[in-house]
Structure 1
Amino acid sequence: MLAALQNFFNVFGATIVVPVMIFMVSLFLKVSPKRAFFSALRAGVGLTGFGWIISSFTPLVTKYIQQMVETAGLNLPIVDIGWQTGSLTAFSSSIGLSFFVFGLLIELVLFLVGITRVFVPSNLWNNFGYMIWGTMAYAATGNFALSFAFMVFVLLYSLIMSEVIADRWSDYYGVKNATINSIHNIETLIPALILDPLWNLLGVNKVKLNPESLKTKLGIFGEPMTLGFILGLVIGILGSLKDLASLDAWGGILGFAMSLAAVMTVFPLITGVFASAFGPLAEAVEKNKKQETETAETLADKKRWFIAVDDGVGFGEPATIIAGLILVPIMVFLALLLPGNRALPVVDLIAIPFMIEAMIAVSKGNILKAILNGIIWFSLGLYAASALGPIYTEAVQQYGSVLPQGVVLIMSFNLLAHPLTALVFFAWISGNPLLIGATVLVYLFFLFLLRTKRESIYSYLRKMADKNSGFEGSTEKIFIAED
């Protein structure tokens, strides 16, 4: 059975599997077959568009990042070759596929009994994020039961973060009753919550660094298209410092700048198509809310639930992609400067916009806050990736693909640069009952707070967001298309 599943995913991939899951979930939520079909089709079209853009753009940005690395004289042994290798490894291991089968049942049970108010099966593909952590645990310990339990635990605590950010993410990115839940992108909620009071104390919330203020202050230079071109120029020049006297170098720099301008322009359009796939699902969720009276509204808020959507929905939002791309060269320089760091982020640098969506949503599009949070959290993430690199490499060698020539140790910045998950991982693979028990107790404490104080948490997050000056949320609101 596991071999058949492995072959199925190898043959069809995300562009087929995700639409099929959306179609099935839509029918389950009593969406009409016609709307369910168009939702599935939009999801497939959106994912295909994402794939085309990212596969075309990644080699370009990787080229200039590698040149920046060579210019700076970096010598870091754990090389980032992208999350795709981790996905392949997750779906190639027996323990990963076991979670994909039984994890779906676990996710349904968790939702039906009310432990979580996030419906995860709608974003089933991103389960590979849990599966790769379990595969690493199994490679490190050889203990199947422990590794499977660890995957379930990572799912549990990630669902808390997913539900906490749900109201803010839904409001900011304009998708009703939706949230993100992939473990490799949701953890950035932690620094966003912890550090926000500090940034407000320092007055960062009053700094109007967001897409709308940039447009006002900079005119045409504040447009996402123009900013993409400027950022492309900066990254291209930094990656070509040794060849700036060459006409060919400037041809490459200007070509890269134009490519980034195109990404900034086209990605939001594809995002709109992909996000509209979840419109009927969100609408079906909305119909479950009773709003006849004030009492009914309160009851509805307590029972409100969310559809899990792919992080690609928010990737192309202006503040998200601008802050993410500014962090690209910053993280390369930090990799050079941080003492004891052994990890070199390369391919997954393009994934940083995915990774900061929680930060952007919490701060209501405050780009400066997102950059500051990213610098701190991703710096810690580099140390996490440094520690996890050898284990990740072993897992890939056992279950995944052959390593690139000349590369000894590998990592995925997107999958591994997560300090909290790394701490939980090492606690579990130690096999120490006290350490494992401590992680469980912490989870139970926060689950109790979420289940008893959810409305208060959402109210607090709204007040936090409103303290940021001059931005009313994403201008790239998602609409539900008529079919």
Structure 2
Amino acid sequence: MDTILTDIKGVIDGLGSTVLLPVFIFIFAIILGAKPGRAFRAGITIGVAFIGINLVIGLMWTSLSDVAQAIVKNTGITRDVVDVGWPSAAAIAFGSSVGLWIIPVGIIVNLVLLLARLTRTLNVDVWNFWHFAFVGSLVVAATNSLVYGLIAAAIVVALTLLFADWTAKGVQRFYEVPGVSVPHLASAQIVPIAIVLNWIIDRIPGINKINIDNNTIQRRLGVFGEPVILGLIIGLVLGAIAYYNVPDRGTMITNVLKTAMNLAAVMLLLPRMVKILMEGLIPVSEAARTFVQKRAGDREILIGLDSAILIGHPAAISSSLILVPIAILLSVILPGSRVILFADLAVIPFVVAMTAPIVKGNVFRMVIIGTVTLAIGFYVATALAPLFTNAAVSAGFKLPENAAQITSIVDGFLWVPYVMVELVQNLAAIGLAVAAILVAIGYWLYRRSATNWELKAGAEEEAAA
């Protein structure tokens, strides 16, 4: 059995999301009754779109990594917990004992919840199952129990599907992605924080009136408020902060202008890539709608995708670029934090993207929520760093030089792994039972409130008509 699982994991690791996703989309579309030709074209189009998205994200990654290195050098900060980036975290998660089992565990939990009508999301984003394996690997590092790790991972699968269903309507409307949900733990975990902070901001006089969304920016700034120009301006500012003290003025100007143009390109190209993705999803969504109507009446099945489909929105990118220097500043000023950021600054768009529907694209509020979330994350990362490092060593990961311990924004900064680890460390099996009960209560509350909300929304639409 272990040999089979190892072979499956090897195929997953080798192919990656850009090959696996089209295959799963094609199979899913055929099962739903789409014609083979349309299903094949849909899968290829979606794969091409994700390749384009990854290329643009890679451009952003390179630019922000260079900026981060320069800013860190300028500040002279040193910490013993080093951010190694999400690719390293994913490799550690899939390389762990939980990573060997996470794909069948994730699929089984998803199918059971679908058949039980507890979720509407079919998560085809199998590559990102590593987030579940990561939580499980931390639990294994804390308890030395594979069983505990697998149970913890299964609970997080269920929690992530709950988040996906809970946020689906808002995501679909704000980002204009019909038939889709986002079962991506790194993005979904900010939702409870965003709801609480948005409620608090609503009750602060003066602050609650500030609304800086994309439409407001464009209306007040004209051409300078267009996403591509906004990316250029933010790039100029970030470049100036990073490279102001480069001795050679020519090199300094070149670095600043390259940063500006690269981020302008990101602001323009990411939305285009998402449009291509949606073109590929249309046939699948239509087939899913027809399939469900024939067999389950008005029940809706959502396609669970990577939150990469969200980060092309100007609100997500703009707020994230503003948060880059804020995150580095937090590295300097937060008392008790031992973390220095480096490799994962480019994933901040993934962290904050799900706040946009909650705050209606208000970049000001997204920056506030993102700042608080990152501040919490520094302390979570400091607490989890020993387990993160132990899991890495167990998976055969080589630690960077001068790093006593390691972390990453994804998933080392997230409250979900921290809560799970704390429950298991303090209560063992009872902690897992408590986590499962809390998730079950979450499903019950969601199903109850979602029904009420949909009835209320329908009444309001009828009244408006």
Do the aligned partners of 2:136 and 2:150 also contact (CA within 8 Å) in 1?
yes
User: How far does residue 407 in structure 1 lie from its aligned partner after superposition?
Assistant: 3.0
The equivalent of 1:476 in structure 2 is none
Do the aligned partners of 1:175 and 1:279 also contact (CA within 8 Å) in 2?
no
- Counterpart amino acid of residue 4 in structure 1: D
The equivalent of 1:97 in structure 2 is 100
The equivalent of 2:135 in structure 1 is 133
User: How far does residue 355 in structure 1 lie from its aligned partner after superposition?
Assistant: 1.4
Name the SS for the 1:79 alignment partner.
Answer: strand
User: How far does residue 374 in structure 1 lie from its aligned partner after superposition?
Assistant: 0.9
CA RMSD of superposed structures (Å): 2.3
The farther-off stretch of 454-463 and 157-166 is 454-463
Q: Percent identity?
A: 26
Do the aligned partners of 2:110 and 2:158 also contact (CA within 8 Å) in 1?
no
The equivalent of 1:23 in structure 2 is 26
The equivalent of 2:192 in structure 1 is 190
User: How far does residue 245 in structure 1 lie from its aligned partner after superposition?
Assistant: 6.3
Is 2:339 aligned against 1:337? no
Do the aligned partners of 2:25 and 2:43 also contact (CA within 8 Å) in 1?
yes
The equivalent of 1:145 in structure 2 is 147
358 and 395 in structure 1: CA distance in 2 versus 1, 3 angstrom threshold:
same
Instruction: Please give the alpha-carbon distance, in whole angstroms, between the structure 2 residues aligned to 1:200 and 1:363.
Output: 10
Instruction: Please give the alpha-carbon distance, in whole angstroms, between the structure 1 residues aligned to 2:14 and 2:304.
Output: 25
Q: Alignment partner for residue 443 of structure 2, among 440, 443, 447? A: 447
Q: Alignment partner for residue 353 of structure 1, among 346, 349, 353? A: 349
Instruction: Please give the alpha-carbon distance, in whole angstroms, between the structure 2 residues aligned to 1:400 and 1:325.
Output: 34
The farther-off stretch of 225-234 and 344-353 is 344-353
Instruction: Please give the alpha-carbon distance, in whole angstroms, between the structure 1 residues aligned to 2:44 and 2:328.
Output: 38
Unaligned runs of 5+ in 2: 460-465
Q: Could you report, residue by residue, the CA deviation over 1:151-190 in whole angstroms, capped at 9, with x for unpaired residues?
A: 0111122222221111101111111121111111111111
Instruction: Please give the alpha-carbon distance, in whole angstroms, between the structure 1 residues aligned to 2:458 and 2:325.
Output: 32
Q: Could you report, residue by residue, the CA deviation over 1:394-450 in whole angstroms, capped at 9, with x for unpaired residues?
A: 212221532333333221102121124312222124443444343333222222111
363 and 400 in structure 1: CA distance in 2 versus 1, 3 angstrom threshold:
farther
The farther-off stretch of 388-397 and 218-227 is 388-397
Do the aligned partners of 1:19 and 1:41 also contact (CA within 8 Å) in 2?
yes
The equivalent of 1:237 in structure 2 is 240
The equivalent of 2:120 in structure 1 is 117
420 and 2 in structure 1: CA distance in 2 versus 1, 3 angstrom threshold:
closer
Is 2:404 aligned against 1:408? yes
- Counterpart amino acid of residue 435 in structure 2: T
The equivalent of 1:306 in structure 2 is 302
400 and 213 in structure 1: CA distance in 2 versus 1, 3 angstrom threshold:
farther
Instruction: Please give the alpha-carbon distance, in whole angstroms, between the structure 2 residues aligned to 1:119 and 1:80.
Output: 32
Do the aligned partners of 1:378 and 1:418 also contact (CA within 8 Å) in 2?
no
The equivalent of 1:164 in structure 2 is 166
Instruction: Please give the alpha-carbon distance, in whole angstroms, between the structure 2 residues aligned to 1:374 and 1:16.
Output: 32
- Counterpart amino acid of residue 132 in structure 1: F
- Counterpart amino acid of residue 90 in structure 2: S
Instruction: Please give the alpha-carbon distance, in whole angstroms, between the structure 1 residues aligned to 2:251 and 2:163.
Output: 47
Instruction: Please give the alpha-carbon distance, in whole angstroms, between the structure 1 residues aligned to 2:128 and 2:98.
Output: 16
The equivalent of 1:214 in structure 2 is 217
User: How far does residue 97 in structure 1 lie from its aligned partner after superposition?
Assistant: 2.1
The farther-off stretch of 429-438 and 87-96 is 429-438
The equivalent of 2:35 in structure 1 is 32
Name the SS for the 2:310 alignment partner.
Answer: helix
Q: Could you report, residue by residue, the CA deviation over 1:74-94 in whole angstroms, capped at 9, with x for unpaired residues?
A: 122111121111212222233
Please list every run of at least 4 consecutive aligned residues from structure 1 whose deviation after the TM superposition is greater than 4 angstroms: 288-291, 457-463
User: How far does residue 357 in structure 1 lie from its aligned partner after superposition?
Assistant: 1.9
User: How far does residue 353 in structure 1 lie from its aligned partner after superposition?
Assistant: 1.0
Do the aligned partners of 1:71 and 1:241 also contact (CA within 8 Å) in 2?
no
- Counterpart amino acid of residue 230 in structure 2: L
User: How far does residue 57 in structure 1 lie from its aligned partner after superposition?
Assistant: 3.2
Name the SS for the 1:94 alignment partner.
Answer: coil
Name the SS for the 2:129 alignment partner.
Answer: helix
Do the aligned partners of 2:323 and 2:367 also contact (CA within 8 Å) in 1?
yes
Is 2:266 aligned against 1:270? no
Q: Could you report, residue by residue, the CA deviation over 1:315-365 in whole angstroms, capped at 9, with x for unpaired residues?
A: 111111111111111111012111111112222111111111221011111
- Counterpart amino acid of residue 424 in structure 1: M
- Counterpart amino acid of residue 143 in structure 2: T
Instruction: Please give the alpha-carbon distance, in whole angstroms, between the structure 2 residues aligned to 1:315 and 1:459.
Output: 31
Instruction: Please give the alpha-carbon distance, in whole angstroms, between the structure 1 residues aligned to 2:169 and 2:187.
Output: 17
Is 2:74 aligned against 1:71? yes
User: How far does residue 251 in structure 1 lie from its aligned partner after superposition?
Assistant: 0.9
Do the aligned partners of 1:319 and 1:365 also contact (CA within 8 Å) in 2?
yes
Is 2:286 aligned against 1:283? yes
Q: Alignment partner for residue 324 of structure 1, among 320, 324, 348? A: 320
The size of the alignment, in residue pairs, is 454
Describe how 1:330-479 pairs up with structure 2 within 5 A. 330-457=326-453
- Counterpart amino acid of residue 28 in structure 1: I
TM (norm. structure 1) is: 0.88
The equivalent of 1:50 in structure 2 is 53
- Counterpart amino acid of residue 129 in structure 2: N
Is 2:63 aligned against 1:81? no
User: How far does residue 274 in structure 1 lie from its aligned partner after superposition?
Assistant: 2.4
User: How far does residue 283 in structure 1 lie from its aligned partner after superposition?
Assistant: 2.2
Instruction: Please give the alpha-carbon distance, in whole angstroms, between the structure 1 residues aligned to 2:54 and 2:362.
Output: 28
User: How far does residue 281 in structure 1 lie from its aligned partner after superposition?
Assistant: 2.4
Instruction: Please give the alpha-carbon distance, in whole angstroms, between the structure 2 residues aligned to 1:459 and 1:379.
Output: 38
Instruction: Please give the alpha-carbon distance, in whole angstroms, between the structure 1 residues aligned to 2:256 and 2:346.
Output: 17
Do the aligned partners of 2:132 and 2:156 also contact (CA within 8 Å) in 1?
yes
Name the SS for the 2:100 alignment partner.
Answer: helix
Do the aligned partners of 1:184 and 1:418 also contact (CA within 8 Å) in 2?
yes
- Counterpart amino acid of residue 42 in structure 1: T
Q: Could you report, residue by residue, the CA deviation over 1:225-277 in whole angstroms, capped at 9, with x for unpaired residues?
A: 11111111111111123227622111111111111111111111112222333
Q: Could you report, residue by residue, the CA deviation over 1:278-336 in whole angstroms, capped at 9, with x for unpaired residues?
A: 22222233335769xxxx9xx83xx3332211111111111111111111111110121
Instruction: Please give the alpha-carbon distance, in whole angstroms, between the structure 1 residues aligned to 2:35 and 2:370.
Output: 42
- Counterpart amino acid of residue 416 in structure 1: G
461 and 374 in structure 1: CA distance in 2 versus 1, 3 angstrom threshold:
farther
Name the SS for the 2:378 alignment partner.
Answer: helix
Instruction: Please give the alpha-carbon distance, in whole angstroms, between the structure 1 residues aligned to 2:316 and 2:458.
Output: 19
Q: Could you report, residue by residue, the CA deviation over 1:125-153 in whole angstroms, capped at 9, with x for unpaired residues?
A: 21111011112222332201111000011
User: How far does residue 217 in structure 1 lie from its aligned partner after superposition?
Assistant: 0.5
The equivalent of 1:6 in structure 2 is 9
The farther-off stretch of 415-424 and 263-272 is 415-424
229 and 135 in structure 1: CA distance in 2 versus 1, 3 angstrom threshold:
same
268 and 412 in structure 1: CA distance in 2 versus 1, 3 angstrom threshold:
same
Instruction: Please give the alpha-carbon distance, in whole angstroms, between the structure 2 residues aligned to 1:139 and 1:371.
Output: 34
- Counterpart amino acid of residue 316 in structure 1: G
Q: Could you report, residue by residue, the CA deviation over 1:100-147 in whole angstroms, capped at 9, with x for unpaired residues?
A: 123212211111111212112x22221111011112222332201111
Name the SS for the 2:78 alignment partner.
Answer: coil
Instruction: Please give the alpha-carbon distance, in whole angstroms, between the structure 1 residues aligned to 2:315 and 2:258.
Output: 23
457 and 189 in structure 1: CA distance in 2 versus 1, 3 angstrom threshold:
farther
